[in-house]
Copies of this chain bind each other. A is one copy, B any other.
């Protein structure tokens, strides 16, 4: 049965030119002079882009709904009133974003709806495309607000008060956006879904370097952020003998070196460590530092890896001279997420049908709305390669052929789930 379905949803139905033109069209909302896109959540450009999507959905005969957090749902009716098969992602971008991050998954969903029409396929389940509100978190924190408030509606009350980097209150921006968007029906958050599938660019170099066009995503790494604070005593670089110093930079350097020296071993256990920020006080050339603060971003596919790292962090501190002057604060934790196994198998078969080869399987290092949906319904993701691993950047790009193959695989998977 699948094979015959796949032949009906042949490459001819997913129209490459139509899909790629839709990517260009959506990029006109917030297009930057450098070719990138700035379309931050609930900005004027993003609201115009929402209207564009609504127009397209209406042309496809879809029902348009909006939930209290501004998430937009575009639904192609099924023969039965049962939970829909849902595809989607987000259309907001970073301030210096590209054309694909988020937008790809939403437009892929629209192309699947159009292809279903072209192939005259009537599904028993409804098929829905969703555009989640504020995934990036660059204007309002935290990111992935829309999908978060969809699965846990009580969060919205809290999010309403978030203050944007431009001083705008999220709740006010949301109310304004909702009044600007006409004709969308209100719907309740948290409604049941048969499955959630998100197509996305990888945002890393692994898939491109593998030579494959598509990857099935096995899950999303867990992450912990730490602030490591090393205390010293400020003193004059010229007048203070080395033996009388308590230098915070030296302490931080000694400690971090121990962690860095273990990174190869930890990497072999799929643990990634990044020391991205250093803040030294007073940060003056000729003053011994009174404090050196550095951060650690640690990622692992599972809790065991995160816990192993944390134990290492503590143990290594105990090996450093003046260990009492080092404090470690865990300032963020996001749980590791494993995607639905059966949905992964189904996606792998769809990728095989689209490309003729088995996709690779990779873990996502970045967060996606699928993280929240994974606790709500069977969830999985497809990745297409990011050229040079670049994203959150005007240069963000994917080979057009790969983009289209990803849409085709999504079409196969959605059709087999919804039929």
Q: Please list the residues of chain A having a beta carbon within 8 angstroms of any beta carbon in chain B.
A: 202-206, 209, 221, 223, 225, 235-244, 247, 249-250, 253-254, 256-257, 260, 263-264, 267, 272-280, 283-289, 292, 294-295, 297, 299, 364-367, 389, 391-392
**Given A205-B244, A286-B297, are A239 and B389 neighbors across the interface (CB < 8 Å)?**
yes
Contacts of A235 in B (CB 8 A): 204-205, 389
Whether the Cβ atoms of B260 and A275 lie closer than 8 Å is: no
Known A-B contacts A254-B257, A274-B286, A299-B237; A267 and B249 likewise in contact (beta carbons under 8 Å): no
Q: Provide the bound-state CA to CA distance between A73 and B287, in Å.
A: 33
| Cα–Cα, bound, A250→B272 (Å) | 13
Which residue from chain B places its CB closest to the CB of A253 in the assembled complex? B256
Contacts of A238 in B (CB 8 A): 204, 221, 223, 272, 297, 299, 364-367
List residues of chain B with CB within 8 A of the CB of A264: 242
Q: Which of B236, B294, B392 is the one whose CB lies under 8 Å from A366?
A: B236
Docked-complex contact A389 and B244, CB < 8 angstroms: yes
Please report whether the interface of chain A is mostly helix, strand, loop or mixed according to DSSP: mixed
CB-contact partner of A276 in B202, B241, B287, under 8 A: B287
Q: How far is the CA of A27 from the CA of B273 in the complex (A)?
A: 52
Chain B, Cβ-Cβ closest to A273: B242
Q: Which B residues lie within 8 Å of A280 (CB)?
A: 276-278
Are B283 and A278 in touch, CB under 8 angstroms?
Answer: yes
A144 to chain B, nearest CB (A): 14
A365 CB contact (under 8 Å) in B205, B236, B272, B278 = B236
Cα distance A392–B242 when bound, in Å? 20
Q: CA A297 – CA B203 in complex, angstroms?
A: 40
CB within 8 Å for A204 and B260 given contacts A241-B272, A267-B241 = no
**A239's closest neighbor in chain B, by CB?**
B204
Q: Give chain B residues whose Cβ lies under 8 Å from the Cβ of A391.
A: 236, 239
**A392 — which chain B residues lie within 8 A by C-beta?**
236
Q: Which residues of B contact A285 (CB under 8 A)?
A: 225, 274, 276-277, 295, 297
Task: Please determine whether A366 and B223 come into contact, CB atoms closer than 8 angstroms.
Answer: no
Asked if B283 contacts A277 (CB within 8 A), the reply is yes
Q: Which residues of B contact A287 (CB under 8 A)?
A: 274, 276
**Residue in chain B with minimal CB distance to A293:** B278
A273 to B285, CA, bound (A): 11
B residues within 8 A CB of A223?
Answer: 238, 286
For the complex formed, measure the closest distance between the CB of A298 and the CB atoms of chain B, giving whole angstroms. Answer: 9
**Contact A389 B276, beta carbon cutoff 8 Å:** no
- CA separation between A183 and B279, bound complex, in Å? 51
B236 touches A272 (CB 8 A): no
Residues of B within 8 A of A294 (CB): 249
Q: How far is the CA of A118 from the CA of B272 in the complex (A)?
A: 76
A284–B276 touching, CB < 8 Å: yes
Q: Using Cβ atoms and an 8 Å threshold, which residues of chain B touch A202? A: 239
* CB atoms of B278 and A278 under 8 A apart: yes
Residues of B within 8 A of A292 (CB): 278
When C-beta atoms are compared, the residue in chain B nearest to A274 turns out to be B237
CB distance from A51 to the nearest CB of B (A): 31
Q: Which of A237, A239, A366 has the most CB of B within 10 A?
A: A239
Residues of B within 8 A of A283 (CB): 276-279
